[in-house]
Chain A
């Protein structure tokens, strides 16, 4: 039976220097975005290991959004080089195993991009809402 009251659960890993500050700006600018996202602040998006993403999916997240500084703007100079390597790899691996790679999204959002932050969260939430509950989550629940 399809879940008509499905509310996506989304985990956000946001870098302290850019995206988290962008979220802050979206807040003080009173921009509206859905409350489905649970934010975890990290010092650099490069600290987000694929383990954390997979763990989130395992624990029932329907989507994972990673936010970091634009390439070249990293507070630690090149931390986000690793972020994109990891996430692009993980997306391809999820695709191969049929784990819906679209549920993992990486976006560069600077501290000045409050509107972009709100829009990204809005779009991502809607996308996940359309996709429905994660295949992995349903399999875990059924087991």
Chain B
């Protein structure tokens, strides 16, 4: 923890960053906190978020950065948060030149729980690398079902939806000003549960963009296994287009450009 605090303190003291989006223990709850040079003593209480404390810091950073576009900010990231930042750079929502990473590596228990393929960051200031989980068991479970069984499974989950938009509101990758989930021409209004396609529409938007942080699922009051759906959406994008989310080297998203050539074939009827 000392290494992390030291880094943050130096960044703030030397004026390299205007603020640090991290965590602090308050009333015995680990909560997101915005650290500044003016209140440098608070850095003594800065913490690396414990496993079960996860907030969409990327989302908070977007709000701060859009308010102060000239300033540079530091942010505490896990593997998923860093993937999120990389995606946000690609989508032009944040400037990589104006973000400084304070990296936290997740422990094995957390990585196993998330089935995370990359539970560490490029810069590690706290924690140690653990074994990644390359294959999602939860996705495999659904794939093992027959199509009809899978449909029953998903239908049961979708019908629990209370349309709170919690999945969208917590999502660090959902930055649109207008949302198709609220578009009356695309989605029926005034229905609970919403249209059966509600979660599918969101899955489409998450494809190749979802950073697999799992906040949506943790936030969902109806316990819909959203993460499984988005994990699969990402997998399909990887299989079809060779695009890996959150990786700077994989270039722009396939949804962002037409491409120079088209090698995909139509499926036979």
Give the distance to chain A from B259, nearest Cβ to Cβ, in Å: 5
Q: How far is the CA of A135 from the CA of B200 in the complex (A)?
A: 15
Interface residues of A in 123-143 (CB under 8 A from B): 123-124, 127, 135-136, 139-140, 143
Interface residues of A in 114-128 (CB under 8 A from B): 120, 123-124, 127
Contact string against A for B residues 243-255, beta-carbon threshold 8 Å, 1 for contact and 0 otherwise: 0000000000011
* Max chain A Cβ within 10 angstroms of own Cβ: one of B145, B146, B154, B200: B200
**B53 interface residue, CB < 8 Å from A?**
no
Interface of A is mostly: helix
Contact B196–A58 (Cβ < 8 Å): yes
Interface residues of A in 80-137 (CB under 8 A from B): 80-82, 84-85, 87-93, 95-100, 102, 105-108, 120, 123-124, 127, 135-136
Contacts of B145 in A (CB 8 A): 98
**A79 interface residue, CB < 8 Å from B?**
yes
Contact A51–B266 (Cβ < 8 Å): no
**A20 interface residue, CB < 8 Å from B?**
no
Contact B204–A50 (Cβ < 8 Å): yes
- With A54-B201, A55-B197, A85-B241 in contact, do A100 and B266 touch (Cβ < 8 Å)? no
Contact A143–B264 (Cβ < 8 Å): no
Contacts of A99 in B (CB 8 A): 151, 200
Contacts of B269 in A (CB 8 A): 102, 105, 107, 120, 123-124, 127
Give the distance to chain B from A41, nearest Cβ to Cβ, in Å: 18
Contacts of B196 in A (CB 8 A): 58, 136, 139-140, 143
Q: How many residues of A contact B (CB 8 A)?
A: 42
Name the residue on B nearest A101 (C-beta): B267
Contacts of A78 in B (CB 8 A): 258-259, 262
Contacts of B187 in A (CB 8 A): 55
- With A50-B204, A58-B195 in contact, do A85 and B254 touch (Cβ < 8 Å)? yes
Contact A81–B151 (Cβ < 8 Å): no
Give the distance to chain A from B227, nearest Cβ to Cβ, in Å: 13
**B162 interface residue, CB < 8 Å from A?**
no
Name the residue on A nearest B266 (C-beta): A106
**A39 interface residue, CB < 8 Å from B?**
no
Contacts of B142 in A (CB 8 A): 96
**A40 interface residue, CB < 8 Å from B?**
no
Q: How far is the CA of A105 from the CA of B240 in the complex (A)?
A: 17
Contacts of B207 in A (CB 8 A): 89, 93
- With A58-B195, A85-B241 in contact, do A96 and B143 touch (Cβ < 8 Å)? yes
**A57 interface residue, CB < 8 Å from B?**
yes
Q: How far is the CA of A7 from the CA of B237 in the complex (A)?
A: 35
**B186 interface residue, CB < 8 Å from A?**
yes
Contacts of B201 in A (CB 8 A): 50-51, 54
Give the distance to chain A from B242, nearest Cβ to Cβ, in Å: 12
Contact A93–B203 (Cβ < 8 Å): yes
Contact B267–A88 (Cβ < 8 Å): yes
Contact A96–B266 (Cβ < 8 Å): no
**A31 interface residue, CB < 8 Å from B?**
no
Q: How far is the CA of A97 from the CA of B148 in the complex (A)?
A: 9
Contacts of A136 in B (CB 8 A): 196-197
Contacts of A107 in B (CB 8 A): 266, 269
Q: List 19 A-B contacts (CB under 8 A).
A: A51-B186, A54-B204, A84-B266, A85-B240, A88-B240, A88-B267, A89-B240, A93-B207, A93-B233, A95-B147, A97-B151, A97-B154, A98-B146, A98-B147, A99-B151, A106-B267, A124-B269, A143-B193, A143-B196
Residues of B bordering A, CB below 8 Å: 142-143, 145-155, 159, 180, 186-188, 193, 195-197, 200-201, 203-204, 207, 229, 232-233, 236-237, 239-241, 254-255, 258-259, 261-262, 264, 266-267, 269
List of 8 A-B pairs having minimum Cβ-Cβ separation, nearest first: A98-B151, A98-B150, A54-B197, A78-B258, A81-B262, A92-B236, A81-B258, A98-B147
